[in-house]
Structure 1
Amino acid sequence: MLEDFSKEFFSVENSPVESIYESSDGSSSGIGKGFSETESVLHLDQLYSEPGTLGAEAYQSLASKYKLYSYASSHWTEHLALCETSAPIWLREAAKSLLDVKTSNCRNWLNFYWADVGAAINQNPSGFDQLTLAAFFNLHETLAGLLSQGASQRVKDQALFWASRAGNYRIVARLLEAGADPNVQGPEVHTALTAAAAHSHLDCVNTLLADARTDPNVRAKNGRSALSFACGNGYNEMVKVLLDQGGRASDTDNSGTTPLFWAAGGGHKTIILALARLPGVDINHRDKVGRTIVSWAACDGMEEILSFLLRLRGIDANPKDEEGLSPLSLAARYGHTAAVAILVGNRKVDKASTDRNKRNAISWACGNGHVDALRILLSGGCPGVDDEDIDGWTPLAWAIQNNVPELVKTLISTGKVDIERRDPRGRTALYWAVDYGHAPVVKALLQEGADPESATNNGKTPAMHASAHGRDDILEFFSTRTTE
């Protein structure tokens, strides 16, 4: 069978690289990002990139010609791992040769495997070697044999990362004994510990933390710690382990968010409570855009978590982000009606809150055309239905930008809106509705009593403006009103 696959099935003629082994100038290709570039290895990240394009024909050909090849390529390592200790030497040696990326056999199999199964990992194994493959596929005896022959620090570190990423905790332990560094960043955004945490491999987390060299607060490239990933994914037991081993719940990632943010974002109430009770954890911490967990729950429309957070002792119900938006304004801005209702019904919420541009929640609901959110705000007693913002715009001025007549009618029905308010150039809401070309809104304004004869500073009426733009459909509304 090995002979059948000794030829190159996955041609790299269409690959970005001219040769599997050499760059265009004939020099050896170096390792990709994440590990030392001092050793010459294959550019497998390029060889295996876009398997759907680079070898699609070869993939289909292999699957068609060899009926069991798909199953074998996906599962032979699993079967070998189960019987490795009792397998005859010749079989182990054959398997070992199949892990050699310098051979066509390995490249054909691994390329096929990654197109069929490995693609789900969303990260091609850049720069794999025999030791890394043995670690990734949980082949203990093969790994031990390769380690006994000697391995560089880079290779051991890379193997540790992929073993942890795959959840192979016994392999992780063996590599740590061999001197692999648990804090090195791998080819993904992760270290061995953060990869284990992100993919729910508790045994790997325990094994890594048992090594005194492992930093429980080591960060992935995005600044997130293992605790952050565990909190975000709702791994309760892992969170406890990491906290017991010195994980810092107050550490922030590159976005300025703490593990508490990720727990809230994932809706994990048990973890939220556990973190909120820890000394040093600020439940009102602000990220780099000035938002808190309450802000984000409102912004994302997570009504159940929002309600839960508002019951926490010491929680701020009115934090303002960098733009000055409160949770109520954020919920209204994005039309999250359930979140708006929860906030309006909470006594701690400031219903009159305005942002840096003096816009309130009503203004934001109107500006984005959210009728139901507006109705909840009005029924909840939110003020500012006709207040001007920093640019002189009222909620009605924002509302007519949207071609939503119900929005306009709902505002005017309060009896608090000056429908004839003019801007500095004398333009009314009706004039602006004509300018936007929103015929249904024009009709609604006329029905609500807007004056069609109200002229601008230049003496131009809404009807004249409609005529100038050839909007006969809008002019019809004016003629109908005149007839009436």
Structure 2
Amino acid sequence: MCKMSFKKETPLANAAFWAARRGNLALLKLLLNSGRVDVDCRDSHGTTLLMVASYAGHIDCVRELVLQGADINLQRESGTTALFFAAQQGHNDVVRFLFGFGASTECRTKDGGTALLAASQYGHMQVVETLLKHGANIHDQLYDGATALFLAAQGGYLDVIRLLLSSGAKVNQPRQDGTAPLWIASQMGHSEVVRVMLLRGADRDATRNDGTTALLKAANKGYNDVIEELLKFSPTLGILKNGTSALHAAVLSGNIKTVALLLEAGADPALRNKWCRLQQG
């Protein structure tokens, strides 16, 4: 279990934080060896020296702090740990080192974040691979339901997505609002991600809680490359229960090339007149 305790800041402790942040190993060792700076001293937010050094990627400082007895799994006020910060910033050497001394993948932030979720969100493929090898849960979710795959899809990190899918990530696992990884990739215009997820069984016509689909969102944004990938896996355009179609969304957004693409794909030509009126008006 990850515990949190706070200790009062001192001028020497502040100097130690500066040394950890800048990677000044000599100064850090001098302060720690003086016996006047606790290796687990914290700032006002509960940040430790080890967290600071891990965030900055100063592996020598991280090693010194751990060897001097720093508690690897202490959590900040927000719930973040040294492992979380190293993973978030893509410092794979630090991540590997921390695992060698018992770093936990189970500590969570206030929004449910874990090291795996952070690494996936920022596209750090090597870190994701290291975390999975050391027991990180591929099905970790933020409290809003976002998975590692969802966060990687949002950022368009294709190598991370391939790794997560090959490791057992659920391609259709939505957030609580019904947004699936394919939907968010389509909204962001990541056509290669869309293609890979469709090949791995993503449901093209899955709807969000508001009833929108990946195709409709891509049409609304004018992402023609995404639309072409979506149509390859199903030529049907689909109309929502409220009568909204992808063509309708493209018309309202004024995406001329998207309108043309959808009409060529067989969208309802009855909407052509509405488009012409908008063009003339």
Structure 2 SS opposite 1:282: coil
Does 1:319 pair with 2:173? yes
Map of 1:305 onto structure 2: 160
Does 1:247 pair with 2:103? yes
Q: Within 2, Cα distance between the matches of 1:242 and 1:232?
A: 14
Which residue identity is paired with 2:186?
Answer: A
Structure 1 SS opposite 2:252: coil
Which residue identity is paired with 1:317?
Answer: V
How far 1:338 moved relative to its partner?
1.5
Map of 1:233 onto structure 2: 89
Structure 1 SS opposite 2:253: coil
Does 1:185 pair with 2:38? no
Structure 2 SS opposite 1:316: coil
Q: Choose between structure 1 and 2 for higher RCO, CA contacts under 8 A separated by at least 6 residues.
A: 2
- Kept in 2: contact 1:396–1:429 (CA 8 A): no
Which residue identity is paired with 1:224?
Answer: T
Does 1:260 pair with 2:116? yes
Q: Within 2, Cα distance between the matches of 1:372 and 1:270?
A: 29
Which residue identity is paired with 1:321?
Answer: R
Does 1:341 pair with 2:195? yes
> How high is the TM-score relative to the length of structure 2?
0.86
Which residue identity is paired with 2:120?
Answer: A
Map of 1:48 onto structure 2: none
Q: Within 2, Cα distance between the matches of 1:328 and 1:257?
A: 21
Does 1:373 pair with 2:223? no
The counterpart of 1:163, out of the listed 19, 31, 35, is: 19
How far 1:429 moved relative to its partner?
7.0
How far 1:222 moved relative to its partner?
4.1
Greater radius of gyration (CA): 1
How far 1:304 moved relative to its partner?
2.7
Q: Within 1, Cα distance between the matches of 2:262 and 2:190?
A: 19
Which residue identity is paired with 1:367?
Answer: N
Map of 1:295 onto structure 2: 150
The counterpart of 1:405, out of the listed 230, 237, 256, is: 256
Unaligned runs of 5+ in 1: 1-33, 37-152, 421-427, 440-472, 475-484
> How high is the TM-score relative to the length of structure 1?
0.52
The percent identity for this pair of structures is 25
The counterpart of 1:386, out of the listed 238, 262, 265, is: 238
Deviations along 1:339-385, whole A, 9 cap, x unmatched? 11222222x322232211222211111122212211111122265x1
CA RMSD, 1 decimal: 2.6
| 433 and 189 in structure 1: CA distance in 2 versus 1, 3 angstrom threshold | farther
Structure 1 SS opposite 2:226: helix
Which residue identity is paired with 1:375?
Answer: E
Q: Within 1, Cα distance between the matches of 2:233 and 2:103?
A: 43
Map of 2:63 onto structure 1: 206
Which residue identity is paired with 1:215?
Answer: D
Deviations along 1:110-134, whole A, 9 cap, x unmatched? xxxxxxxxxxxxxxxxxxxxxxxxx
Q: Within 2, Cα distance between the matches of 1:401 and 1:343?
A: 28
Map of 2:3 onto structure 1: none
How far 1:266 moved relative to its partner?
4.0
Q: Within 2, Cα distance between the matches of 1:387 and 1:319?
A: 23
How far 1:250 moved relative to its partner?
2.0
Q: Within 2, Cα distance between the matches of 1:304 and 1:186?
A: 37
Which residue identity is paired with 1:386?
Answer: G
| 310 and 433 in structure 1: CA distance in 2 versus 1, 3 angstrom threshold | farther
- Kept in 2: contact 1:362–1:382 (CA 8 A): no
How far 1:242 moved relative to its partner?
0.9
Q: Within 1, Cα distance between the matches of 2:46 and 2:256?
A: 49
How far 1:192 moved relative to its partner?
1.0
- Kept in 1: contact 2:128–2:160 (CA 8 A): no
How far 1:317 moved relative to its partner?
1.0
| 382 and 290 in structure 1: CA distance in 2 versus 1, 3 angstrom threshold | farther
- Kept in 2: contact 1:35–1:154 (CA 8 A): no
Q: For structure 1, which segment, 254-263 or 398-407, has the greater mean C-alpha deviation from structure 2 after superposition?
A: 254-263
Q: Within 2, Cα distance between the matches of 1:284 and 1:413?
A: 40
Q: Within 2, Cα distance between the matches of 1:261 and 1:268?
A: 10
How far 1:193 moved relative to its partner?
0.9
Count, aligned residues: 275
Map of 1:363 onto structure 2: 216
Q: Within 2, Cα distance between the matches of 1:431 and 1:413?
A: 17
Structure 1 SS opposite 2:111: coil
- Kept in 2: contact 1:156–1:175 (CA 8 A): yes
How far 1:189 moved relative to its partner?
8.0
